[in-house]
Chain A
Amino acid sequence: MKRLIAMNRWLGWLTLILLAVSLWLVFNAPIDYQQGNSVRILYIHVPSAKMALFVYLALTVFSIWYLWKKSETADILVEASAPVGAAFALVTLASGSIWGKPMWGTWWAWDARLTSMLVLLILYMGIIAIRNGIDDPVKGARATAVLAIFGAVDLPIIHFSVVWWRTLHQPPSFGKTASAGPAITGPLLPPLLWMSLTFFLLGAYLILLKARETQGRRTLEHLEAQRRTHV
């Protein structure tokens, strides 16, 4: 854990460098023949959405690890992942809404993809609330891990919602599906891949940053409790 935290500084600088390259590519990419310039919103929206899902997947793995091994590192990573995932989900929903207004003519629709993504944000908020709301650290950690594992059922629903149901939301941006037709290709694809890589590093950086804060806070609480017993 300590080694990972030490590595985080370099990860931060690498993320910043990649972000500069990605932004240059994004603002030099051609406009889309249908969406025009508004396609640039998707370079924030799609990587944020991918990371909102990926962070939840990681959170589920950390939760299983915690329940299996009772590892404090796993518990710290669960606690650190939730706000990072919530930030990605929030940006996904807000950027999608801002894109939806000029493209669909509405800020919001109770479409399967949008609603399942909103459920993911609520799950993240629930995990944060439970982790902070239960005073007993062991009970809190166990409750959080169990909720996170049950909540993972939302991940395939989000991913396949555009395939399973007829939605207002367009098909997946990466790859091809038989029913949904071709995804984003050509000169629009490299900036999206670069932004996705940048957001992956940003996610890892933010989780490790928050883990350092969580670990520090626990050490401080322990020291304060120790101090109180000696006074």
Chain B
Amino acid sequence: MSDYSLYIHAVYLLALLVYGGVTILWKIRIKTIETRIQHYQGLTPDGPTHSDPHHP
């Protein structure tokens, strides 16, 4: 362990997991939220519009 490579790998992996992890997690959440917003915006207050594929 003279060159401390295990410690260095651990730190860089940790940084990748934390920073990469939150980026991917939030990107997925944005995609999910924006899809649901589009779904809601396709509905009228009285019911689904004909353009909404889930509510023909």
Q: How many residues of B contact A (CB 8 A)?
A: 29
Q: List 17 A-B contacts (CB under 8 A).
A: A38-B4, A40-B8, A44-B11, A83-B22, A87-B18, A87-B22, A91-B18, A98-B14, A101-B7, A209-B23, A213-B26, A219-B33, A219-B37, A220-B33, A220-B40, A223-B40, A227-B43
User: Would you call the interface of chain A mostly helix, strand, loop, or mixed?
Assistant: helix
Residue B45 lies at the interface, judged by CB distance under 8 Å to chain A: yes
Q: Complex Cα distance A147/B23, Å?
A: 26
CB distance from A98 to the nearest CB of B (A): 5
Q: Is the CB of B33 within 8 A of A230?
A: no
Q: What residues of chain A lie closer than 8 Å to B51, measured between beta carbons?
A: none
- From B2, B14, B15, B27, give the contact of A209 (CB < 8 A): B27
Contact with A along B2-36 (1 / 0, CB 8 A): 11110110111011001100110011011001101
Given the contacts A212-B30, A220-B37, A220-B40, A95 and B11 also touching, CB distance less than 8 Å: yes
Given the contacts A44-B15, A48-B15, A220-B36, A102 and B7 also touching, CB distance less than 8 Å: yes
User: Would you call the interface of chain B mostly helix, strand, loop, or mixed?
Assistant: helix
Q: What residues of chain B lie closer than 8 Å to A48, measured between beta carbons?
A: 15
> In chain A between 24 and 71, which residues have their CB closer than 8 angstroms to a CB of chain B?
36-38, 40-41, 44-45, 48
